[in-house]
Amino acid sequence: EAQVTQNPRYLITVTGKKLTVTCSQNMNHEYMSWYRQDPGLGLRQIYYSMNVEVTDKGDVPEGYKVSRKEKRNFPLILESPSPNQTSLYFCASSFLRDRGLNTGELFFGEGSRLTVL
């Protein structure tokens, strides 16, 4: 089954304790990206990756790091989490180009709800 898998789905942590949210997709997509969602603010892009070893900042990259060493994985790293990073996080992936029957649609994970105390 084609899917984007995020882990953990829920996490409560404390300020300053490094954490990683993993994202894996099994569709051979070139493009992957991370979003955060906060009440009243919609979805905001944190980072994206156009392919392996190619990453770039979105609208709200401060306090986050990413890496893309393999095509299927795109982990989100919070080196020193702070309470303002308490949020619902989504990972998404897609093909870069609209090839043939591929729509270029984004496939989203189920979300990771992070609380930083």
Question: Applying CB under 8 A, which residues contact other proteins?
Answer: 4, 31, 33, 35, 37, 40-45, 48-50, 56, 58-59, 88, 90, 92, 96-98, 103-111, 113
The CB-of-18 to other proteins minimum distance in angstroms stands at 25
Closest to other proteins by CB, 46 or 116: 46
Closest to other proteins by CB, 48 or 64: 48
Distance (Å, whole) CA 56 – CA 106: 17
The CB-of-80 to other proteins minimum distance in angstroms stands at 25
Distance (Å, whole) CA 4 – CA 107: 7
Contacts of residue 46, defined as CB under 8 A and 6 or more positions apart, other chains included, come to 33, 34, 35, 36, 58, 59, 60, 61, 64, 66, 76, 89
The CB-of-109 to other proteins minimum distance in angstroms stands at 6
Amino acid present at 87: S
Closest to other proteins by CB, 14 or 43: 43
The CB-of-86 to other proteins minimum distance in angstroms stands at 14
Q: How many CA atoms lie within 13 A of 6 on its CB side?
A: 25
Q: Are 21 and 79 in contact (CB under 8 A)?
A: no
Closest to other proteins by CB, 51 or 80: 51
